[in-house]
């Protein structure tokens, strides 16, 4: 479990992280999102006991990141954006070397290396030097390295940045596989669809402060309002009449050239009524569908705010 309580970091006069309170439960993956310079990496480095906080507290599985820093480092796995790997070492050899640095028993380390290399499809290339690996393979190796001591907490700092789509997919699938029942994972990323795909909860940080936290669906409802629906008529000539029919029941607008859009908290009552009226008016419906909510809309809404928005659903 990861716990941050009013965590803060100052570099000289500059406040990089302020009053950050966040919990990641065992078995949970939380995505920490925010613009460049928002304080994501600084937060991760404090939580991983690499950088001492200026204020507040953080605990990893109950151990304080300052008082028990050494123990905390043994409990976390950290994947950074540009992990340095020793290119002249073979994959298996590298894991043995790294495991020894972490004080792992050689036999256990070898077993765990084999299991992870097999899990990530790298067992066949275990004797190849890492410099011959593709970017996706290297990032998978970095993930295996972060996992070699089976840490209960994993920090993934922009794990797929600057990767081609196929390598990013491979790494994303690997992250999906790492979500053990008991592991807490904190992921920072600029890739919003990645966060949407992987995260149980989203935390958005801006100017060093968390401004929203919660499951995506919950934050969407809070910030983007009621679900939105769009209707397309089969014959373009019917559109003006269809808009008038819909507007008898709900405020609607035309979006793009052919979509009639409205929001409602009671779609199960309203939408059948709209369809009935359209049929009675002899208007053929091509489609009626719910507009998908995208994390990008939510993120831009929050991050683009000029004024500080109050913390939302701070179920830290
Ligand atoms: N060692 C340091 N000394 C001074 N300022 C620092 C230091 N490390 C980070 N900062 C500043 O703290 C702020 C937060 O940086 P941080 O790297 O945590 O942001 P980030 O959210 O990870 O950004 P990005 O998305 O660009 O990686 C930035 O303004 C950065 O310049």
Mutate to test the pocket of ligand 1, among 4, 9, 39, 156 (most ligand atoms within 8 A of CB): 39
Burial bucket for residue 36 (CB in 10 Å: 0-12, 13-18, 19+)? exposed
Report pLDDT for 63. 97
Is the pLDDT at 120 greater than 70, yes or no? Answer: yes
Residue 45 alpha carbon, nearest atom of ligand 1: 18
pLDDT of 308 over the 60 cut: no
The pLDDT confidence band at residue 309, using thresholds 50, 70 and 90, is: very low
State CA 310 to chain mean position distance.
Answer: 21
Which pLDDT band holds residue 1 (cuts at 50, 70, 90)?
very high
pLDDT given for residue 181 in this prediction: 66
How far is 69 from 75, CA to CA, in rounded Å?
10
Q: What is the pLDDT of residue 107?
A: 94
pLDDT confidence of residue 45: 95
Minimal CA–CA distance to 190: which of 81, 106, 263, 292? 81
How many Å is the maximal CA-CA distance in the chain? Answer: 77
User: Separation of 304 CA from ligand 1 center, angstroms?
Assistant: 19
pLDDT, mean of residues 265-271: 95
Q: Which atom of ligand 1 is nearest to the CA of 42?
A: 18
Domains of the chain: 2-221 (3.40.50.300), 228-290 (3.30.70)
- pLDDT tens track for 228-255: 999 999 999 999 999 999 999 999 999 9
Ligand 1 pocket (Cβ < 6 Å) reads 11, 14, 16, 34, 36-42
Q: Whose CA is nearest to atom 12 of ligand 1?
A: 16
How far, in Å, is the centroid of ligand 1 from the Cα of 190?
15
pTM: 0.83
> For 145-169, what is each residue's pLDDT tens digit?
999 999 999 999 988 887 788 878 8
Closest CA to 298 of 216, 228, 237: 216
The residue-averaged pLDDT of 164-186 equals 83
Share of the chain above pLDDT 90, in %: 67
DSSP code of residue 129: B
Lowest mean pLDDT among 28-37, 85-94, 196-205, 299-308: 299-308
Q: Does residue 291 contact residue 229 with C-beta atoms inside 8 Å? A: yes
Q: Which residue's C-alpha comes closest to atom 11 of ligand 1?
A: 16
Of the residues 10, 38, 155, which should be mutated to test ligand 1's pocket, given the most ligand atoms within 8 Å of the CB? Answer: 38
């Amino acid at each position: 479990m990861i716990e941050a309580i009013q965590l803060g970091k100052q570099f000289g006069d500059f406040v990089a992280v302020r009053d950050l309170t966040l919990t990641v439960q065992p078995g949970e993956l939380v995505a920490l999102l925010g613009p460049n310079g928002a304080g994501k990496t600084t937060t991760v480095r404090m939580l991983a006991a690499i950088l001492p906080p200026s204020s507040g507290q953080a605990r990893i599985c109950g151990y304080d990141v300052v008082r028990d820093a050494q123990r905390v480092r043994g409990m976390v796995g950290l994947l950074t954006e540009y992990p340095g790997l020793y290119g002249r070492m073979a994959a298996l050899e590298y894991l043995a070397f790294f495991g020894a640095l972490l004080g792992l028993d050689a036999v256990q380390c070898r077993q765990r290396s084999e299991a992870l290399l097999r899990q990530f499809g790298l067992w066949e290339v275990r004797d190849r030097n890492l410099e011959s690996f593709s970017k996706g393979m290297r990032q998978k190796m970095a993930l295996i390295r972060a996992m070699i001591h089976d840490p209960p907490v994993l920090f993934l700092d922009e794990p797929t940045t600057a990767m081609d789509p196929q390598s990013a997919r491979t790494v994303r699938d690997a992250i999906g596989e790492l979500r053990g029942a008991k592991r807490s994972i904190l992921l920072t990323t600029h890739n919003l669809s990645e966060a949407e795909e992987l995260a149980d909860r989203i935390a958005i940080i801006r100017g060093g402060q968390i401004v929203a936290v919660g499951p995506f669906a919950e934050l969407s409802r809070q910030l983007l309002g009621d679900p939105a629906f769009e209707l397309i008529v089969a014959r373009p000539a019917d559109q003006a009449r269809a808009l008038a029919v819909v507007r008898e029941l709900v405020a609607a607008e035309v979006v793009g050239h052919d979509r009639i859009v409205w929001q409602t908290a009671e779609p199960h009552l309203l939408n059948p009524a709209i369809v009935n009226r359209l049929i009675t008016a002899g208007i053929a419906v091509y489609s009626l569908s719910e507009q998908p909510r995208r994390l990008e809309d939510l993120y831009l809404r929050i991050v683009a705010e000029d004024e500080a928005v109050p913390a939302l659903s701070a179920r830290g």
